[in-house]
Amino acid sequence: MRKNKLRITFVATALASLTLTGCSCSKTVGKGEFTYRSYTTALASNWNPHSWETSADSAVLDYLTEGFVNLAPKNTQAGEYQWVFDMAESITDVTKDSAATLATYLSADFPTEEEAQDWIDGLPEDNPGQIVYQIKLREGLKWEDGTAINAESFVRSADLLLDPDMKNYRANLYVAGESAIAGALGRFYSDSLVYVDNLTHGDFAVASMDDLELVGGKYVQKDSHYGVFLGMNHSVIALGGETLKYYVDEFPDYFPMTVWKQMLEHVSTEQTDSHAYELELNETTMPLIEQFFAEQEGFDFGELEGWQYFLFVEELFPEKDFESVGLYKEESDEAGLTFNYVMATPLDESQAFVSFTSTWLVHEATYNDNKDTSGDLVTSRYGTSVASTKSYGPYRLETLEAAKQMVLVRNENWHGWTKDEEGKLSSTTLFEVDGSVQPQYQATKVVIDVLDDAAAKQKFLAGELSSYAPTASELPEYTLSDSLYQVDKTYQMSFFMNTNPTALKNMDINEGNTNSIVLSNENFRKAMSLAIDRAEFVTKTAGYKPAFSLLNNLYYYDVWNDPSSRYRNSEPAMQALVNLYEIEYGEGKTYATLEEAHASITGHNLTQAKELMALAHEELVTAGDISAGANIKIKIAYAKGAIQSDELAQVAIIQKHLNAALEDSGFGTIELEAIGSLENRYDAVPEGKFAIGYGAWGGAAFYPFRNMQVYCDTDQYSVNERANWNPATETLTIHFEYEENGDTVIFEDTMTWKAWSNSMVGGGPYANASNDVKLRILAFMEEHYLKKYYRIPLASSTAAFLLSMQIEYFTEEYNIMYGFGGFRLLKFKMDDFQWREFVRKSGGTLDYK
């Protein structure tokens, strides 16, 4: 229990002392100023709302922008939250009055206005439709330079976001998934070449050699000269989603395996994905393809050669202008502050509001001034420097020293400020918390420094930082401190890997690894996972917790209706992990119930790890990949910033665990080396520069059914494991039984992993299924993805930090909906002048133990 009253009394006494002793008027620097001082190991580099990637980038955007709405505390004693309006004055579902809009932007579903109206008339009285949301902006919104922000600003910014010549990374939030805008996908891919199945439109695009032309030794479509390839492991329409490779692997006696192996030798070396097997049609490969299908006995293609069924062809996406996108101004609003947001598929208000907590708004002139047209895609340097940054949030970027410091000050043109007679700015909430409006954004300046742990600790104890995250070795010293806060986060720290044999061999030659080919062996990777004692690993982290899954205990599948609806506590999610770690339960077993078996999971089984290591050694030696007794050295892409002492300790622990599993396996020893100061370790691994990376995915805590997209959706995400497989082509059959209205229902369906990852969002086939069905789909995917051991979960991240005595949170009771009240409601107990004097009278070093 925190001793806040005692601490506050102490501070108040110290302030009284300062008031009595005073100081001369010449020493008043900092009076009325409140500086929040933060630090990071690597400074943000891109806070463009259209292309940001890292958490550091996102943190800067939190100061420079704001959403239409946000979550805030309502009653902190009861833990009640509320939705509050920020940039928006109101958000209203106007679907029932929007028949013409539905017919215009969703014509595939509503071909005519009359049919749209019939659908609207058929809605239950209490169902608003939840497709067309009307957003009315509050008056007085401005950019930091005083330029007005209105509905047109958002429409023009959306046009830039979806520009098909740019392929902006963050457009993924609006072209697919639950927040997708009607027509956005078509605009995003406008006039773009996209590979599609040869039978996409119900007939062959390429039916025979007569439809192909040899150009420069490569076969292309005769009329268009667009590309063609054979999808050897791509799910195809003709086989109901199955692949050619599946049949060859399952029934080798029916296929000419010598020819198949020759075809594999010609798989494009540009693809490090060993499972895609995208075979270009050219002078060398076409005779092999024709021979393979002529000699195979597994399929009856009638008079056709058969290869036509397995082709993928480039198709030009129809040209679409922005007028086809369902985001447009409401003409009836003469003030120009209202626009309509047409969802691609219905989305209930709670989920829509989650989407509306951030926006896509950019300063159009600055954005265009910073465009670069020299590459294949147009890019913009918007949000990478002071000059290229424009704020519409409570703070603006004042100075930036690359790799050293950034300083943000109050944006005087933010709509929330009021100015007194002396010109001082202040702000109060437009909503009540605990029965009254509250001061907000009290900080007058935000300073973010690049510091290592040692320098950060020194500055914090000297009163020069507002918070500090103790290292793992330091954390026990502060366990009883009133200033220590520990909060779970959704991010799961993991090892992610490049398991491609060719890439691994190249890394041995070019990147300083030795025998990293071992990672291509699934038994070796599984042994790695079981060898790691996560409970010991987290002792070298700042309060992290052991992790055994992709999603931790912070994910809720129906939080708006049931605050206890944790995914991890559901029967399917528990069963998935029990299956993964092969734990038995039931009568006569060590664990009687699923709950007991699930609670027993540690992820650590050294005995099984040793057995698997011995098996992996035998398999790798037999295959000629390594020599008996081989030693292993692998560099790990570990951090964006410089490697810290804690990180070295973490890698040492893992190395110790793996060497314990390697004993008596036939292998020699393993050496791991953590590498830092990496601009993008997430891409460095699949690009073949590192065999292992250390990083995390998290977020979307209130809708876990979209989380598998980060591992499977190759359109929305740069899949970290893309060197290992192609989730857009590899299929998964999901099957289970469940009870519905007293009956047993058998569920079975086959789709690609990518399709499954999108199946429960937006217009996915199971987006409107019951939570019971969606939980089972998600759990099935989580289990079978983890069984690939492309990614090994290690720890759930936490925020373990000390808060400066200068400040305090609005509430000490953490709530997942609003934290401790956030930076918005953060309170300063002393201004900078008083704080400096307080530190001086404390001897220049503060005691937080």
Residue 277 has a pLDDT of 62
Q: Give yes or no: residues 361 and 300 share one domain.
A: no
What tokens appear for 334 in the block? 């003469």
Residue 647 has a pLDDT of 95
Q: Give yes or no: residues 720 and 647 share one domain.
A: yes
Using the predicted structure, report yes or no on whether residue 327 has a pLDDT greater than 80: yes
Using the predicted structure, report yes or no on whether residue 726 has a pLDDT greater than 50: yes
Query: For the purposes of burial, counting CB atoms within 10 Å of the CB of 617, is it exposed (0-12), middle (13-18) or buried (19 or more)?
Result: buried
Q: Give yes or no: residues 718 and 811 share one domain.
A: no
Number of domains, the chain: 4
Q: Tell me the average pLDDT of the chain.
A: 91
Residue 351 has a pLDDT of 87
Using the predicted structure, report yes or no on whether residue 247 has a pLDDT greater than 90: no
Euclidean distance between CA atoms 110 and 132, whole angstroms: 14
Euclidean distance between CA atoms 617 and 795, whole angstroms: 28
* 175 within domain boundaries: no
What tokens appear for 67 in the block? 């959403």
* 388 within domain boundaries: yes
Q: Residues of the chain with pLDDT > 90: what percent?
A: 77
Residue 810 has a pLDDT of 97
Q: Give yes or no: residues 160 and 253 share one domain.
A: no
Mean pLDDT value of segment 321-341: 97
Domain termination residue (choose one: 351, 379, 407)? 379
Residue 740 has a pLDDT of 85
Facing residues of 279 across strands? Answer: 230
Q: Give yes or no: residues 450 and 346 share one domain.
A: no
Alpha-carbon dihedral 22, 26, 31, 36, rounded to 10 degrees: -110
Higher pLDDT, 110 or 476: 110
Q: What is the pTM of this model?
A: 0.70
Using the predicted structure, report yes or no on whether residue 150 has a pLDDT greater than 60: yes
Q: Give yes or no: residues 243 and 335 share one domain.
A: no
* 186 within domain boundaries: no
User: How sure is the predictor about 29, in pLDDT bands with cuts at 50, 70 and 90?
Assistant: confident
Using the predicted structure, report yes or no on whether residue 221 has a pLDDT greater than 70: yes
Mean pLDDT value of segment 247-263: 92
CATH code, domain carrying 83? 3.90.76.10
The answer to whether residues 317 and 193 touch, using CB atoms and an 8 Å cutoff, is yes
Using the predicted structure, report yes or no on whether residue 16 has a pLDDT greater than 50: no
Which of the residue ranges 149-153, 415-419, 662-666, 677-681 would you say has the lowest mean pLDDT? 677-681
Identify the domain containing residue 635 by its residue range: 489-763+772-796
Give how far Cα 28 sits from Cα of 13, 23, 197, 212, 239, Å: 21, 8, 72, 81, 79
Q: Give yes or no: residues 754 and 608 share one domain.
A: yes
Quote the distance between the C-alpha of residue 762 and its chain's center: 17
Q: Give yes or no: residues 482 and 578 share one domain.
A: no
Q: What per-residue string of b and e applies to 582-611 under the rule 16 or more CB within 10 Å gives b?
A: ebebeeeeebeeeeebbeebebbbbebbbb
Facing residues of 258 across strands? Answer: none
User: How sure is the predictor about 742, in pLDDT bands with cuts at 50, 70 and 90?
Assistant: confident
Give how far Cα 584 sits from Cα of 73, 697, 834, Å: 43, 30, 62
Mean pLDDT value of segment 397-416: 97
Query: For the purposes of burial, counting CB atoms within 10 Å of the CB of 213, is it exposed (0-12), middle (13-18) or buried (19 or more)?
Result: middle
* 187 within domain boundaries: no
Using the predicted structure, report yes or no on whether residue 550 has a pLDDT greater than 90: yes
Mean pLDDT value of segment 578-603: 96
Which of the residue ranges 483-487, 516-520, 763-767 would you say has the lowest mean pLDDT? 763-767
Higher pLDDT, 303 or 628: 628
Residue 15 has a pLDDT of 31
* 184 within domain boundaries: no
Question: Is 193 in a helix, a strand, or coil?
Answer: strand
CATH code, domain carrying 551? 3.10.105.10
User: How sure is the predictor about 23, in pLDDT bands with cuts at 50, 70 and 90?
Assistant: very low
Mean pLDDT value of segment 324-341: 97
Write down the H helix ranges in 636-740. Answer: 645-662, 681-684, 709-712
Residue-wise pLDDT tens digits, 267-317: 864 443 333 568 999 999 999 999 999 999 989 888 889 999 999 999 888
Euclidean distance between CA atoms 317 and 192, whole angstroms: 5
What tokens appear for 309 in the block? 């069924």
User: How sure is the predictor about 178, in pLDDT bands with cuts at 50, 70 and 90?
Assistant: confident
Higher pLDDT, 533 or 79: 533
Q: Give yes or no: residues 369 and 465 share one domain.
A: no
Higher pLDDT, 739 or 685: 685
The angle formed by the CA atoms of residues 336, 341 and 346, to the nearest 5 degrees, is: 155
Euclidean distance between CA atoms 444 and 797, whole angstroms: 30
Using the predicted structure, report yes or no on whether residue 764 has a pLDDT greater than 80: yes
Neighbouring CB atoms inside 10 A of 308's CB total: 20
Query: For the purposes of burial, counting CB atoms within 10 Å of the CB of 50, is it exposed (0-12), middle (13-18) or buried (19 or more)?
Result: buried
Q: Give yes or no: residues 605 and 671 share one domain.
A: yes
Q: Give yes or no: residues 550 and 640 share one domain.
A: yes
Higher pLDDT, 21 or 821: 821
* 177 within domain boundaries: no
Using the predicted structure, report yes or no on whether residue 8 has a pLDDT greater than 80: no
Neighbouring CB atoms inside 10 A of 27's CB total: 12
Residue 9 has a pLDDT of 27
* 183 within domain boundaries: no
Q: Which residues contact 172 (CB under 8 A, 6 or more apart)?
A: 715, 716, 717
Using the predicted structure, report yes or no on whether residue 573 has a pLDDT greater than 90: yes
Mean pLDDT value of segment 399-413: 97
User: How sure is the predictor about 393, in pLDDT bands with cuts at 50, 70 and 90?
Assistant: very high
* 544 within domain boundaries: yes
Q: Give yes or no: residues 499 and 462 share one domain.
A: no
Using the predicted structure, report yes or no on whether residue 130 has a pLDDT greater than 90: yes
